Structure 1
Amino acid sequence: MLWTILGLLLVGLIAGFIARAIIPGKQSMSIVMTIVLGVVGSFVGGFLGFLLFGVGPEGGFLQPAGIIGSILGAILVLAIYVFATRRSGVRTR
């Protein structure tokens, strides 16, 4: 159980880091938020993979397709985060 949690955190860190490197602009996130981004991205990627392809995690979570899905999910979650927190260019006085 401990190795599963550590594996998820490691995959989350890698997926979050890659997503932050791909999405342009500055994201003010700590390392913990990067891990959370990657873990949430893993869930999103896994859920979308299940919806699109009907494939579950029977073979284990640390597969190449699962890691790629985690990265794509993290990119999607980060893009939504950046869009939601983007400041408007209109200023009021």
Structure 2
Amino acid sequence: MVTTIIVTVILGAIIGALARLVLPGKQHISTLVTVILGILGALIGSWVWTGLLGGGDTAGIDWIALIIGVIVAALLIVAYTSMTGRKRV
């Protein structure tokens, strides 16, 4: 249980950072918000891939779910910055 939480937070940080890298400009959000949005992006991306699109169960890294997670996290970051009114420079 604790290991799953730690892995989720680490993957969320990585996915959040990747999402911020693919977005143009600079986003003025904290590291904590980046991790939270990355975790949400990973969870939603995994759900979309396995639940809605019928993605397979892989033995290794599921690259398609990772890419979908980054895209979802990037969309969440854009939504968050537009809702909080913080502009990209």
Q: Which runs of 4+ in 1 moved over 3 A?
A: 58-62, 85-88
Do the aligned partners of residues 70 and 82 (structure 1) sit closer, same or farther apart at CA in structure 2, a change above 3 Å counting? same
Q: CA–CA distance in 1 between the matches of 2:40 and 2:86?
A: 23
Deviation at residue 62 of structure 1 after TM alignment: 5.0
Q: CA–CA distance in 2 between the matches of 1:5 and 1:31?
A: 18
1:11-59 residue CA offsets vs partner (Å, 9 max, x unmatched): 10011011111112332222211110100111221232222x1337x55
Equivalences, count:
86
1:78 matched residue in structure 2: 77
Larger Rg: 1
SS at match of 1:24: coil
Deviation at residue 60 of structure 1 after TM alignment: 7.4
1:44 matched residue in structure 2: 44
TM-score, with structure 1 as normaliser: 0.71
Uncovered stretches (5+) of structure 2, i.e. residues with no partner:
none
Uncovered stretches (5+) of structure 1, i.e. residues with no partner:
89-93
> Identity, % of aligned pairs?
31
